[in-house]
Amino acid sequence: LSIGAIKGVGYQSVKLIVEERKANGFYKDFFDFTRRIPKRIKTRKLLESLILVGAFDTFGKNRATLLNAIDQVLDDISDIEQDGFIFDVLTPKASYEEKEELPDHVLSEYEKEYLGFYVSTHPVEKAFEQKQYLGIYKLANAQD
């Protein structure tokens, strides 16, 4: 799935994100990603869209934590860019206030809204789990 399929992420943004990754390697974390992408596409809307579909899930922070951190990360990066930090060793790293993850049904709805389909879970899965908990099974599985 291309990130170009995400609502709020335009072709030009995708192109610049991929070019940066090809030139300088994989992104290490959310802060690294946000620091490295070009300033003209570095917006709350872009970051929020990517977070809500799980684009940063592999970095180990849940979506609620990253959503909460967007403004602080953007402010920190703005300060870094103004101060002219050149070397990674001198670049401060973000600290995240850990938040409880959003409920599965909320995450699913965001995926549906931003991608057009469900990725992590489908709302019907909960109904299947509840049916099995209540002892409701398919007639085809009934035994004599």
Structural domain spans, the chain: 3-141
Place of tokens 């600290």: 95
Answer with the residue of higher pLDDT: 2 or 63: 63
* Mean residue pLDDT across the chain: 81
**How many C-beta neighbours within 10 Å does residue 76 have?**
19
Token reading at 26: 């994989």
Answer with the residue of higher pLDDT: 69 or 95: 69
Of 19-33, 41-55, 66-80, 121-135, minimum mean pLDDT range? 121-135
Please tell me the distance from the alpha carbon of residue 144 to that of residue 134, in angstroms, as a whole number: 20
pLDDT number for residue 1: 45
pLDDT number for residue 144: 54
pLDDT number for residue 85: 59
Cα 21 vs. chain centroid, distance in angstroms? Answer: 17
Query: What size, in residues, is the chain?
Result: 144
Answer with the residue of higher pLDDT: 54 or 134: 54
pLDDT class for 3, splitting at 50, 70, 90? Answer: low
SS3 76: helix
pLDDT number for residue 119: 76
pLDDT digits (tens, 9 = 90+) for 84-135: 655 555 555 667 889 999 888 888 888 888 888 777 765 556 655 555 555 5
Q: Which of 95, 89, 60 is nearest to 75 (CA)?
A: 95
